[in-house]
Amino acid sequence: MALLLTADDLDGIGADAQAARDPRPFAVELVAAVEGGRLADPDDAGYALSLAAEARELAGDHEEALALSARAATRGEGTVDATWLQAIHAERLLRLGREDEGMAALAALRPLLHRDVDAVGPIVEALTETGRAELAEQWVTAAMLTAMEREDRATDGSEEQLEVAAVVDELVMTRRDVRAGLGRVPDEYDTLADDLGAAPDLVFFPEAAFTRLLAAQPEAAGELGRDWDAHRAIVEGELQAADAEGEVLEVEVATPELLAAMLSDDDAAGDAATAPEPGPRLPWPPGRNDPCWCGSRAKYKKCCLPRGRQRAEDAGAPEPAAPQPAERPEPVEPEATPAPSAAPKSSERVIQRRPGPRSRAR
């Protein structure tokens, strides 16, 4: 059996096609791989066909390119690439002069704007890349207002609320970028976007600060951890999980000013007008034998490194050779606060994790 092509292999073929004088043979190779069942992951079929479409378009074979990207969109149905593939097909239709079909395809995707965080980028790009930035601004603004209404109606801390909060963040920031491209004067939502963009993914509270904060606001235990050990474990676990996925997490170390703001008024820390200066970024990871980042003076390998591993395991992150109990026993001690996994509103400047870019880079 011939070698199976991974997503990286497909990327390589796509890059070769871009650089080639004649990209056609690469398109043929990609289509043959799909038809011959030679993809390591069958879910990559849509992606492979979209690369073939790109190669055909590059070669000037516009009808073939359109047929291939339509096929790519169909093959991608039910995969993580579905919306992205449909959006790039729509973009190709618009680019190649099939105005009505392209706009119909985008209009069909439009309802996803206020529901699916991964749909925002591809749909907006299809519009802006084809000279429709003003339309993009209209669509994104309407979707943002709809999503904000949904966020207001959702129950605090519910799954739905977290999802829609992520969509709101994405829409606010995308809208800011689209409007900047149009030369608009920043409005209040653009200011909010700037704050979101500058907000750290996580805030780490050193022990003394953590103790004071929790004494004053016991309910913060739900987000920050029920004690300082749990808090350190959350921060380290999130850093490890992000690192394993090749992402970089920004962790801000809480300053006395941030703590004071949080102690004086829970909402003040999230308010741009009164928010204190951001604290320093946490350098991570230290060397295994270096002092731990948490300030305990213990070696990293004896302190938060194992703490975070345990946390990552508990959260279901992949950890080689770790025996997983069928059901994780809940802590037996009586707790009035929710589990540390409960996440806050996206607008709160406490512990937050932005959704990673799941759609493919083009």
Residues that bind Zn ion (CB under 5 A): 292, 294, 296, 303-304
Which residues does 130 contact at the CB level (< 8 Å), separation at least 6?
Answer: 91, 94, 95, 102
Residue with Cβ nearer Zn ion (276 or 291): 291
Q: If you ran DSSP here, which 8-state letter would residue 354 be given?
A: P
Residue with tokens 């194992």: 306
* Cα torsion through 22, 25, 30, 31, rounded to 10: 120
3-state secondary structure of 169: helix
Concatenating the DSSP letter of every residue in 283-302 gives P-PPPTTSBPTTS--SBGGG
Residue with Cβ nearer Zn ion (113 or 235): 235
Shortest distance in whole angstroms from residue 297 CB to Zn ion: 9
Shortest distance in whole angstroms from residue 348 CB to Zn ion: 25
Shortest distance in whole angstroms from residue 168 CB to Zn ion: 34
Shortest distance in whole angstroms from residue 286 CB to Zn ion: 9
Shortest distance in whole angstroms from residue 249 CB to Zn ion: 16
Query: 3-state DSSP helix/strand/coil percent for the chain, to nearest 5?
Result: 60, 5, 40
Residue with Cβ nearer Zn ion (305 or 317): 305
Angstrom distances, CA of residue 35 to CA of 38, 54, 327, 346: 8, 18, 42, 44
What is the Cα–Cα distance from 329 to 12, expressed in whole angstroms? 45
Burial of residue 63, with CB atoms counted within 10 A of its CB: 0-12 exposed, 13-18 middle, 19 or more buried? exposed
Shortest distance in whole angstroms from residue 232 CB to Zn ion: 6
What is the Cα–Cα distance from 272 to 261, expressed in whole angstroms? 12
Contact call for residues 345 and 168 (beta carbons, < 8 A): no
Residue with Cβ nearer Zn ion (27 or 303): 303
Shortest distance in whole angstroms from residue 294 CB to Zn ion: 3
Residue with Cβ nearer Zn ion (33 or 282): 282
Residue with Cβ nearer Zn ion (176 or 231): 231
Residue with Cβ nearer Zn ion (87 or 234): 234
